[in-house]
């Protein structure tokens, strides 16, 4: 039977229209990993401190979808882009701008000649006409005093003519027209708006083709140029993408409320795991592992290796089988040496007397201990941390460190302290919402003192953007001294010298950094060192830093037997995590 047979054609299902390379089963692709919805929401919260402004459209723009998943899906974006470019080229090859520019200039000058300003404002008016600056006409309008006067109204009209002249000049300088058809001033302004709309749409389409962010295309504006069928196809595509993102958001722990998206603990754990994977994946080329081999010592973890029994060893670690083997070997050797100690049984069968177990026969399993560590991370959230987005890198480090400890060292303790003019303990759930304190004083020299013992005094009355390392170290000491472990450390993440400190109940805020503040901070650091707390300083780079910042970090680390790390902000999480693991190696060894 042939398909050309009339009977066969009558039984066919008719024409089936499908887009090229479009397979509905591949949206989303079954082999491609799902987009990181929780990561996009978390990055938004890390940068802005809240999710209340994260709309579904903004979330769709933040999510990265593999462009191959939507290749050819719906109307071709390439065809729409080509149509827009053709429309732009046709406009540029049809019109010229010299006539419109001359008309706009003549309209402005003619209108200026027809105005009769008050004698007191004549000189200023003539100067404003010559300068052709809108701000000069605005100042002149305010000086008129009576906005209902004839001159005030004419002045507004003249300003509009000057604005038209500006727009035509911008059109002529921005686009290379090559046609011969003259335009009026209103036509030139309308064509300018159309060309700018085409440029915006082309940029949106280019971004959508690059990152599969269909939601960024303004379909309402595109409807003025594209066919209704093309717009309907894009609308359907956008709906599918939004439904896909909403479903993934629910799976990855994002809850949508009236106030915006809220992160659940599941989303936080997912983001921490992502951070750890990024950190350790990038270090595989130069690191072979995060843990050393078993280290011998007194501890609860029993190893396969053994050693001879020594006085004081616990008998619970005895290798029973090897100990009795040693006893039998020793008994056999002694029997051969002394011709044996044999007894005759009633049946005439000879046998060895079971040997007694001596201390020299006993083998003890070697063990290793699993020491517990306590860490307190001080996060600088002073005003200077806003520069270069340093605060985002510090928060990423804190979340990654918490994820590392929960995954690899669940018995360890980690605490977080936000550091600004004061210091405050923070839970890991509060870290994404932390933001640098806004700078409220702009004077080059600040010398302030506040008596915090006064009942009417509170934090809200104090400038928040200073750096109080002393107060943060005091809180860290309080958190670490109650931890039942000798392995205690502070990770100080900051970008410079301290600028605030306490003396009893008196709070001092001194900028530029004062030796008085440095001395108070060093006293607190020495108290931490006496309690066995190591302070590791991670100094973030900044354009405002001087050699004094570096020297202070060295002095603090040296006084507390700690270390100083100089690292770029984006690599802070890697330095901190690997330093923590290296510290564990040193403790175990």
Q: Is the pLDDT of residue 184 over 80?
A: yes
- Name the token pair of 356: 């007694």
Per-residue pLDDT tens digits for 31-68: 455 666 666 666 666 666 654 545 666 666 556 665 55
Q: Is the pLDDT of residue 113 over 70?
A: yes
Classify residue 377: in a domain, yes or no.
Answer: yes
Q: What is the CATH number of the domain that holds 503?
A: 3.40.50.410
Indicate whether 421 and 462 sit together in one domain: yes
Classify residue 268: in a domain, yes or no.
Answer: no
Average pLDDT, integer, range 271-295:
45
Range of the domain at 352: 301-368
Indicate whether 486 and 582 sit together in one domain: yes
Nearest Cα to Cα of residue 404 among 231, 266, 280, 229: 280
Last residue of a domain, one of 143, 176, 209: 176
Global pTM reads 0.53
What does the DSSP assignment read for 196-218? Answer: HHHHHHHHHHHHHHHH--GGGS-
Q: Distances in Å between the alpha carbon of 253 and those of 45, 261, 434, 447?
A: 14, 10, 20, 47
Q: Report pLDDT for 218.
A: 75
Classify residue 275: in a domain, yes or no.
Answer: no
Domain count, the chain: 4
Indicate whether 222 and 201 sit together in one domain: yes
- Name the token pair of 545: 């830093």
**Cβ burial, residue 252 (10 Å; 0-12/13-18/19+):** buried
Q: Is the pLDDT of residue 342 over 50?
A: no
Classify residue 344: in a domain, yes or no.
Answer: yes
Classify residue 296: in a domain, yes or no.
Answer: no
Backbone angles phi, psi at 28, to 5 degrees: -75, 160
Indicate whether 255 and 134 sit together in one domain: no
Token pair 């933001």 in the structure block, residue: 435
Per-residue pLDDT tens digits for 389-418: 888 878 888 888 888 777 777 778 889 999
Nearest Cα to Cα of residue 54 among 35, 34, 40: 40
- Name the token pair of 116: 């009769």
Distance in Å from the first CA to the final CA of the chain? 82
Indicate whether 413 and 522 sit together in one domain: yes
CA distance 53 to 255: 14
537 and 548 Cβ atoms separated by less than 8 Å: no
**Please, which pLDDT band fits residue 270 given cuts at 50, 70 and 90?**
low
Q: Is the pLDDT of residue 225 over 90?
A: no
Burial string for 473-485 (b: 16+ CB within 10 Å, else e) reads bbbbbebbeebee
> Where is average pLDDT lowest: 283-292, 296-305, 332-341, 556-565?
283-292
Indicate whether 378 and 474 sit together in one domain: yes
Q: What angle do CA 28, 34, 35 make, to 5 degrees?
A: 105
Last residue of a domain, one of 353, 368, 383: 368
In 258-360 the beta strands, taken as DSSP E runs, fall at 260-263, 301-308, 342-344, 350-352
Q: Report pLDDT for 360.
A: 85
**Please, which pLDDT band fits residue 29 given cuts at 50, 70 and 90?**
low
Q: Report pLDDT for 460.
A: 86
Indicate whether 482 and 549 sit together in one domain: yes
Q: Rounded to an integer, what is the distance from CA 9 to the centroid of its chain?
A: 60
Classify residue 285: in a domain, yes or no.
Answer: no
Classify residue 287: in a domain, yes or no.
Answer: no
Q: Report pLDDT for 308.
A: 87
More confident residue, 588 or 373: 373
Average pLDDT, integer, range 194-215:
80
Q: Report pLDDT for 59.
A: 62
Indicate whether 345 and 385 sit together in one domain: no
Q: What angle do CA 78, 80, 83 make, to 5 degrees?
A: 110
Q: Is the pLDDT of residue 260 over 90?
A: no
Indicate whether 362 and 377 sit together in one domain: no
Indicate whether 350 and 450 sit together in one domain: no
Mean of per-residue pLDDT scores for the chain: 76
Indicate whether 523 and 393 sit together in one domain: yes
More confident residue, 69 or 473: 473
> Where is average pLDDT lowest: 107-121, 274-288, 369-383, 486-500?
274-288
Token pair 């600088």 in the structure block, residue: 380
**Please, which pLDDT band fits residue 291 given cuts at 50, 70 and 90?**
very low
Classify residue 286: in a domain, yes or no.
Answer: no
Indicate whether 419 and 503 sit together in one domain: yes
Highest mean pLDDT pick, 30-44, 210-224, 273-287, 314-328: 314-328
């Amino acid at each position: 039977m042939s398909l050309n047979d009339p009977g066969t054609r009558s039984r066919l299902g008719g024409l089936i229209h499908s887009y090229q390379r479009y397979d509905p089963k591949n949206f989303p692709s079954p082999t491609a990993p799902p987009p990181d919805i929780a990561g996009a929401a978390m990055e938004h919260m890390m940068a802005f401190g809240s999710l209340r402004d994260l709309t579904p459209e903004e979330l769709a723009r933040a999510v990265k979808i593999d462009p191959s998943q939507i290749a050819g899906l719906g109307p071709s974006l390439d065809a729409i882009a080509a149509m827009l470019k053709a429309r732009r080229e046709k406009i540029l090859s049809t019109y010229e701008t010299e006539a419109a520019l001359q008309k706009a200039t003549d309209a402005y000058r003619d209108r200026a000649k027809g105005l009769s300003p008050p004698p007191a404002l004549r000189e200023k008016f003539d100067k404003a006409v010559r300068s052709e600056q809108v701000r000069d006409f605005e100042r002149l309008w305010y000086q008129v005093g009576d906005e209902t006067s004839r001159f005030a109204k004419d002045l507004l009209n003249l300003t509009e003519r000057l604005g038209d002249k500006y727009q035509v000049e911008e059109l002529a300088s921005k686009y290379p027209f090559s046609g011969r058809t003259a335009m009026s001033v209103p036509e030139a302004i309308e064509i300018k708006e159309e060309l700018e709309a085409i440029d915006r749409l082309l940029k949106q389409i280019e971004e959508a083709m690059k990152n599969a962010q269909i939601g960024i295309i303004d379909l309402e504006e595109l409807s003025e140029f594209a066919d209704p069928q093309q717009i309907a196809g894009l609308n359907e595509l956008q709906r599918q993408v939004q439904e896909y993102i909403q479903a993934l958001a629910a799976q990855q722990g994002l809850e949508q409320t009236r106030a915006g998206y809220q992160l659940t603990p599941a989303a936080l754990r997912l983001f921490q795991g992502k951070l750890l994977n990024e950190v350790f994946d990038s270090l595989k080329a130069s690191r072979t592992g995060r843990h050393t081999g078993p280290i011998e010592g007194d501890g609860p973890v029993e190893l396969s290796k053994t050693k001879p029994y020594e006085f004081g060893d616990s008998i619970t670690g005895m290798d029973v089988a090897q100990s009795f083997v040693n006893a039998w070997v020793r008994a056999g050797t002694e029997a051969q040496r002394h011709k044996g100690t044999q007894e005759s049984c009633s049946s005439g069968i000879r046998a060895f007397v079971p040997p007694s177990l001596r201390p020299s026969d006993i083998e003890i399993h070697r063990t290793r201990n699993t020491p517990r560590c306590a860490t307190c991370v001080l996060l600088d959230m002073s005003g200077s941390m806003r520069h270069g987005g340093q605060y985002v890198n510090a928060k990423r480090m804190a979340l990654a460190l918490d994820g590392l400890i929960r995954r690899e060292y669940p018995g360890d303790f980690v605490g977080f302290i936000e550091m600004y003019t004061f210091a405050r303990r923070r839970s890991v759930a509060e870290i994404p919402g932390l933001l640098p304190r806004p700078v409220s004083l702009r004077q080059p020299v600040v010398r302030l003192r506040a008596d915090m013992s006064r009942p009417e005094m509170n934090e809200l009355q104090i400038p928040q953007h200073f750096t109080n390392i002393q107060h943060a170290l005091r809180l860290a000491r309080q958190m670490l001294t109650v931890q039942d472990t000798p392995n205690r450390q502070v990770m100080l993440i900051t970008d410079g010298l301290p600028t605030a400190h306490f003396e009893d109940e008196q709070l001092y805020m001194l900028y530029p950094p004062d030796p008085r503040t440095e001395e108070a901070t060093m006293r607190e650091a020495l108290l931490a060192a006496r309690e066995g707390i190591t302070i590791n300083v991670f100094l973030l780079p900044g354009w405002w830093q001087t050699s004094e910042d570096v020297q202070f970090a060295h002095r603090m680390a040296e006084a507390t037997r700690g270390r100083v790390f100089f690292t770029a902000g984006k690599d802070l999480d890697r330095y901190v995590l690997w330093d923590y693991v290296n510290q564990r190696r040193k403790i175990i060894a």
